[in-house]
């Protein structure tokens, strides 16, 4: 495995692989890797000969009061984990490599509709930052396939739409959420939880399961199910940001006619914001 830091290095390495007819996959990350990230790398290695994993803490997707400065940087540990997982190249650019003229003067990518609501409503500008940096990484690596986790369901929907709308020749693969034994979705933010908070956190996934079961039993009063789920989270000691039932494709509020729906939740446990989702067919 080799680590490169500049676009010139990256393209030089990739040119050699492509001349040999190798298929290339991209796994974008912000580092501080856990088993969920590693599962993406393993999935990518199943679909391509060369796996490029990017590690870049993207300042454009952090809000004014979010934890950019405190976001964990664990490059050495990440490199060791990626080598064990089979990553071929690690791309770790500096901010100046990605935004040479600064954030304020940089072109931005906006993905309408699917970026709205859910996390898009709670974190203004977040998906603009995600869409911009992912577009840049796809242009820099020019992969045949790119792998993203389904845990960030809205993010995956944004990326699928932007690659479709901009006619990018890349296959977007969604990989299943990796969970702890008690159901909590693996996340870099889980490390912020205190021991008592960690004991409470699995209620997020349990609440999703309970709400999904109500839908499977035939209930279509989605607004009431959302309210009941939010109350369950509050009762457990969390502060809900949202609990929404949406059309799985458009992410607009689900209706009785929707055959595929996704339940999306974000809730604060102490200062830590947890997100999760669950999709089902009706």
pLDDT at 238: 98
65 pLDDT exceeds 80?
A: no
> What are 180-225's pLDDT values in tens digits?
999 999 998 998 999 999 999 999 999 999 999 999 999 999 999 9
pLDDT at 2: 95
One-character DSSP codes across 204-270:
HHHHHHHHHHHHHTT---HHHHHHHHHHHHHHHT-EEEEEEEEETTT-SBP-TT-SEEEEEEEEEET
CA distance 116 to 24: 31
pLDDT band at 175 (very low <50, low <70, confident <90, very high): very high
pLDDT band at 77 (very low <50, low <70, confident <90, very high): very high
> What are 95-141's pLDDT values in tens digits?
999 999 999 999 999 999 999 999 999 999 999 999 999 999 999 99
pLDDT at 144: 98
**Which residues of the chain are in CATH 3.40.50.620 domains?**
2-175
CA distance 92 to 137: 11
CATH code of the domain occupying 188-281: 3.30.1300.10
First to last CA, the chain: 45
CA distance 231 to 234: 5
Q: How many degrees, rounded to 5, is the angle at CA 182 between CA 178 and CA 74? A: 50
Residue 18, both tokens = 């492509």
**Which residues of the chain are in CATH 3.30.1300.10 domains?**
188-281
Active-site residues, by number, are: 37
Q: What is the DSSP letter of 59?
A: G
pTM: 0.94
> What are 84-94's pLDDT values in tens digits?
999 999 999 99
Report the topology of domain 2-175.
Rossmann fold (3.40.50)
What does pLDDT average to over the chain? 96
Residue 271 burial (CB count, 10 A): 11
Instruction: Calculate Rg over the CA atoms of the chain.
Output: 19
CA distance 52 to 42: 12
Q: How many degrees, rounded to 5, is the angle at CA 31 between CA 29 and CA 32? A: 135
CA distance 106 to 128: 12
């Amino acid at each position: 495995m080799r680590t490169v830091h500049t676009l010139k290095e990256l393209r030089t390495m990739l040119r050699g692989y492509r001349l040999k007819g190798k298929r290339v996959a991209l796994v974008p990350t912000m580092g501080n890797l856990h088993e969920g990230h590693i599962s993406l790398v393993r999935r990518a290695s199943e679909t391509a000969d060369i796996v490029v994993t990017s590690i870049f803490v993207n300042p454009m997707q952090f809000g004014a009061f979010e934890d950019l400065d405190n976001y964990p940087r664990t490059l050495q540990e990440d490199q060791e984990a990626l080598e064990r997982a089979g990553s071929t190249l690690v791309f770790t650019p500096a901010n100046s490599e990605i935004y040479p003229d600064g954030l304020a003067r940089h072109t931005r990518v906006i993905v309408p509709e699917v970026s709205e609501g859910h996390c898009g409503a709670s974190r203004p500008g977040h998906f603009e930052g995600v869409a911009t940096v992912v577009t840049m990484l796809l242009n820099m690596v020019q992969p045949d396939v790119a792998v993203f986790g389904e845990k960030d369901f809205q993010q995956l929907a944004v990326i699928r739409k932007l690659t479709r709308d901009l006619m990018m020749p890349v296959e977007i693969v969604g990989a299943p959420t990796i969970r702890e034994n008690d159901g909590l979705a693996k996340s870099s933010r889980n490390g912020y939880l205190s021991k008592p908070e960690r004991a409470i956190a699995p209620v997020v996934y349990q609440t999703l399961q309970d709400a999904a079961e109500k839908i499977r039993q035939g209930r279509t009063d989605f607004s009431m199910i959302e309210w009941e789920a939010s109350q369950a989270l509050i009762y457990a000691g969390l502060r809900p940001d949202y609990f929404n039932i949406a059309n799985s494709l458009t992410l607009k509020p689900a209706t009785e006619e929707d055959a595929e729906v996704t339940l999306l939740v974000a809730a604060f446990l102490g200062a830590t914001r947890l997100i999760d989702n669950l999709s089902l067919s009706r």
